[in-house]
Chain A
Amino acid sequence: EAQVTQNPRYLITVTGKKLTVTCSQNMNHEYMSWYRQDPGLGLRQIYYSMNVEVTDKGDVPEGYKVSRKEKRNFPLILESPSPNQTSLYFCASSRTRLSYEQYFGPGTRLTVT
C-alpha cells in the first residue's frame, strides 16, 4: 500500500531536549516536505527536499533541521525544542515538485512543556 508514515504519532517532551520525528514514504517520490498545522493558521511549510541531499527552507524553518540521505526518508529534527513548537506536524511527498498531488502522513502531535 502506498503510504507516508510518521513516528511517533504523539510526543510530549520538555524544553531543550533534542528530538527527531521520522518520515518515510514507499512510493519512490522525489519531493518531500514538512508542514506544521496550527489553529487559525492553516498549514505552513517548514522545509522541503527536491531529492536526495537537496533540501531548502520553507516559510517557517527557524528551530528545525532536516536531512535527506535516502530517497524514502526525511526526518525532522528539533535540536532544542521550545513551547512555541508545540504543534501538529505533517510530512508529505509527491512524485516531483511539479506533481499536483501530495500524499500526507497521518501527523505527529508534539507538545513541548
Chain B
Amino acid sequence: AQSVTQLGSHVSVSEGALVLLRCNYSSSVPPYLFWYVQYPNQGLQLLLKYTTGATLVKGINGFEAEFKKSETSFHLTKPSAHMSDAAEYFCAVSDSGGGADGLTFGKGTHLIIQP
C-alpha cells in the first residue's frame, strides 16, 4: 500500500521568499513521484515528476523537487515566490508502473503569497 503525507494544509510566504512544500511518502516498491498544481477554478496540471535517474528534478515555473530515498521525501521548492504561484499543490505517488493508473494523492497544500 502506498500513501502520501503533505505537511501543512496551508503555507504562507512573502513574495520573493523561498517556497518549501513538504511531501513524505510510503511505498513498498520504488516509487514514482509527482507534484501537481491547481490554480483557482481550474483542473490539476503536472508540475514535475520523478521516475528514475537524477534525484533533483526541475519542473515548470521555476519549481524543483528532490527525491530523498533515505528520508522518503519529495519536497517541492522554489527560490523566489511570485504572486502567480498562489495555488493548491498536490503531491502524488504511484507504485504500479508510474502512470496515471494507481496514483495516490496527498491532501494538498494551499500556498498563499503575501505581498
Contacts and interface: CB of A to CB of B under 8 A. Distances in A.
Nearest to B4: A42
Interface size class of A (residues with CB under 8 A): 20 to 34
Interface stretch (B64-72, B75-83, B98-106): B98-106
A76 to B, nearest CB: 15
B44 A100 contact: no
Interface in B78-93: 90
Interface of B: 9, 32, 34, 41-46, 49, 51, 90, 97-101, 103, 105-108
Per DSSP, chain B at the interface is: loop
A33 B104 CA distance: 13
Sorted from nearest, which 10 A-B pairs have the closest CB atoms? Answer: A104-B43, A98-B99, A97-B101, A94-B100, A42-B107, A43-B105, A42-B105, A104-B44, A102-B100, A101-B46
B98 A100 contact: yes
Given A44-B105, A90-B44, 9 more contacts: A4-B43, A31-B99, A31-B100, A42-B108, A97-B97, A97-B99, A100-B46, A100-B100, A105-B43
